[in-house]
Structures are given as structure tokens and as C-alpha cells.
């Protein structure tokens, strides 16, 4: 790697590593250390091909997803989750509910399978369409849809407190309205 490419790589890492780390931590179920390892491995792979990469962030994200898929295919034993960290700064009386909710969500995500967690991160955190998720994971769109549905159902079962985040189910309009409609000629 020449000096110009090396400087370009350093700038990329300095500017985008925090966003990439958030994605990596989510992909690993909230395990920051595993997320850091995942990101470091992806950056090492990207550095080796840096001169040939057109879209660096997309390339590194693709490596993250594929590495995570490889990890859950290996079925590594689950590591212990450290919770000895204090809540975020400024989480006084007003911020404790948000911090508690994040902990509940993190615990529920950690209890999903790696495949379920990966599909949810790609669909909702990365906001990828189902077709792109299917392409990244190497499966069909139907598999992505069914995995998303089952993952959300399991997430709701594991953490019913999360239902307070969405609109009340009774207030949602029904997609199938069977009320009579008057039709005039």
C-alpha cells in the first residue's frame, strides 16, 4: 500500500469506525469485545485490498456481515455477557427508563440466534430491503421474510416491555376492513 492509499485508509477508519463498530456490536448480540474483533478483522481484510475498493464502507459492511454469518455457522459457544458497566452518562431520573429499555433490548437480542439477530440488524438497523438482505446472507427473499417474522415474534416474547415502544395494537387501523360500502352507479 503506497503512502496515499495508507492515508486514505486511515481517514476512512477515523471517520467511519464508530458507525461500523455499532453495527458490529449489534451483529454480535451486544458483545462489544466480539464486535471490536469482528470490525478489526474486517478492516484488516479491507486494508489488503484497499487500492481496488470502489466503495469502502459498503465493502467493509459486506465483510462484517459475511464474517458474522461464518461465525454463526461455526456455532461457537456463547460467551458470557458482561453487565458490570455503568449506564450512560447523564442517565439521571429522566434517562433511566431509556437505559433500562436498552438493557432489556440488548438482553433479548442476545437470546436470539445469530441468524435471527443478523437478519434483524440488516433489516431494521441497516435499513436494507429484503432482497439485499437475501443477497448478503445468500438465501431467498422468502427465507428473509420468514426469519424476520419469527425473529420479531421471539423478540416480543422475550421482552414484552418493548411493546410500549410501538403504537397501541388496538389503535392501529385494520388492513382488512370488512364494513359494508355503499356503491352508487
How confident is the model over 21-36, as pLDDT tens digits? 999 988 888 888 888 9
Round to whole Å and give the CA distance between 70 and 72: 6
Spatial contact of 13 and 43, defined as CB atoms under 8 Å apart = yes
Q: Is the dihedral of CA 174, 143, 149, 102 positive or negative?
A: negative
Highest mean pLDDT among 50-59, 105-114, 139-148, 158-167: 139-148
Spatial contact of 159 and 153, defined as CB atoms under 8 Å apart = no
Q: According to the model, what pLDDT value does residue 79 have?
A: 55
How confident is the model over 138-165, as pLDDT tens digits? 899 999 999 999 999 998 888 887 776 6
Cell numbers of 48, please?
489488503
Spatial contact of 66 and 156, defined as CB atoms under 8 Å apart = no
Cell numbers of 41, please?
478483522
Angle between helices 3-27 and 56-74 (to 10 degrees): 40
Round to whole Å and give the CA distance between 122 and 104: 20
Q: According to the model, what pLDDT value does residue 85 have?
A: 59
Spatial contact of 158 and 108, defined as CB atoms under 8 Å apart = yes
Round to whole Å and give the CA distance between 167 and 170: 8
How confident is the model over 73-91, as pLDDT tens digits? 665 555 555 656 555 554 4
How confident is the model over 158-168, as pLDDT tens digits? 888 777 665 44
Cα–Cα distances in angstroms (integers) from residue 139 to residues 22, 109, 153, 170, in the given order: 25, 22, 21, 35
Q: According to the model, what pLDDT value does residue 179 have?
A: 45
Judged against a pLDDT cut of 60, whether residue 102 lies above it is answered with: yes
Judged against a pLDDT cut of 50, whether residue 169 lies above it is answered with: no
Round to whole Å and give the CA distance between 48 and 9: 10
Amino acid at each position: 500500500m503506497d503512502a496515499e492509499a495508507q492515508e486514505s485508509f486511515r481517514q476512512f477508519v477515523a471517520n467511519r469506525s464508530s458507525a461500523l463498530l455499532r453495527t458490529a456490536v449489534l451483529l454480535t448480540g451486544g458483545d462489544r469485545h466480539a464486535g471490536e474483533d469482528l470490525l478489526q478483522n474486517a478492516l484488516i481484510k479491507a486494508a489488503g485490498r484497499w487500492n481496488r475498493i470502489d466503495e469502502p464502507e459498503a465493502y467493509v459492511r459486506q465483510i462484517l456481515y459475511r464474517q458474522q454469518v461464518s461465525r454463526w455457522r461455526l456455532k461457537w459457544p456463547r460467551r458470557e455477557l458482561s453487565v458490570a458497566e455503568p449506564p450512560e452518562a447523564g442517565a439521571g431520573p429522566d434517562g433511566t427508563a431509556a437505559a433500562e429499555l436498552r438493557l432489556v433490548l440488548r438482553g433479548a437480542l442476545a437470546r436470539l440466534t445469530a441468524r435471527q439477530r443478523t437478519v434483524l440488524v440488516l433489516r431494521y438497523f441497516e435499513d436494507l430491503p429484503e432482497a439485499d438482505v437475501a443477497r448478503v446472507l445468500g438465501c431467498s427473499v422468502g427465507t428473509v421474510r420468514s426469519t424476520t417474522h419469527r425473529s420479531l415474534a421471539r423478540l416480543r416474547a422475550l421482552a414484552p416491555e418493548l411493546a410500549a415502544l410501538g403504537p397501541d395494537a388496538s389503535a392501529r387501523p385494520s388492513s382488512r376492513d370488512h364494513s359494508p360500502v355503499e356503491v352508487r352507479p
